[in-house]
Amino acid sequence: MENEKKFDLTKVQEADVEKKYILTEEAKAASKFGKLVFAFPQEDNEIVAEGDPADYVVHPQAYFRGARQIPGSEFNSSFQIFVKPFFLDRVQHRHPKDEYLIFLGASFPNVFDFDAHIEFTLGKGEEAETFVIDKPTIIRVPAMTYHCPLNFKEVNKPVMFMAACMMPMFGGIYDLPNGETMEMYYNGPLPCKYNENKKCDSCGKCLTEKWEK
Ligand SMILES: [Zn+2]
């Protein structure tokens, strides 16, 4: 209790810092912590199942692509506003690390203004359970836990959806019909970090970079 009084938070204090940066590449290179600060590029979701319209989600969207954007990051996330029903994730899979799925109302500013019916399955086979999401909700998917499908069945008000995975790059493990498993990684529809002329093929080279250097 005594500790509460050690800082006088009623007084506004400007940071007493000489160096101030606006996010340019030069400023990031000149600063010590600049690599930890990242401005979202505008992205358009390129993953739409065949024949489905792309207008279920507001364009553009923001995605944090993990270590390719902030070196050393162990986190990636989507930030999408869904405005129409859409069967988003149709194939069951697992991730090597935890994933969190976050559903909030996007009739800003009140994130509790929510009117949608979303169904999500956790587990596989006999232990599988489907959950109805009809209010602001967060779901933890523990590492190596089977999950999906994820179906936005009714979207009467915009829904903000974030799929946040505790990995440096988005990736999952899929069971193939022939009994084998396949690991798939995806780093967005972005150019290679090292070669602007080439699309990122999730080779993983950028995951080895450190933010300090
Ligand atoms: Zn997943």
Q: Within the chain, how many helices (H) and strands (E) appear?
A: 1, 11
The answer to whether the CB of 153 falls within 8 A of the CB of 117 is yes
Distance of alpha carbon 77 from alpha carbon 99, whole angstroms: 9
Residue 144 pLDDT exceeds 60: yes
Model confidence at 46: pLDDT above 80: no
- The rounded distance, in Å, linking the Cα atoms of 124 and 171 is 19
pLDDT value of residue 47: 65
Using DSSP's 3-state secondary structure scheme, residue 66 falls into helix
Residues surrounding ion ligand 1 at CB below 5 Å = 99
Mean pLDDT score, 8-24: 78
d(CA 39, ligand 1 centre) in Å: 25
The rounded Å distance from CA 172 to ligand 1 centre is: 7
**Distance (Å, rounded) from C-alpha 8 to C-alpha 133?**
42
CA of 182 to the centre of ligand 1 (A): 14
pTM of the predicted protein model: 0.89
For the stretch 149-185, pLDDT in tens is: 999 999 999 999 999 999 999 999 999 989 899 999 9
Of 191 and 142, more confident? 142
CATH no., domain 40-208: 2.60.120.10
Q: What is the mean pLDDT of the chain?
A: 91
Of the chain, the percentage scoring pLDDT greater than 90 comes to 67
Contact (Cβ atoms closer than 8 angstroms) between residue 186 and residue 171: yes
pLDDT tens, residue by residue, 92-118: 999 999 999 999 999 999 999 999 999
Cα–Cα–Cα angle for 143, 79, 108, nearest 5°? Answer: 130
Q: Ligand 1 centre and the CA of 3: distance in Å?
A: 42
33 Cα: distance to centroid of ligand 1 (angstroms): 31
- What pLDDT was estimated at residue 1? 55
- φ and ψ at 134, to 5 degrees? -130, 15
Q: What is the pLDDT of residue 48?
A: 62
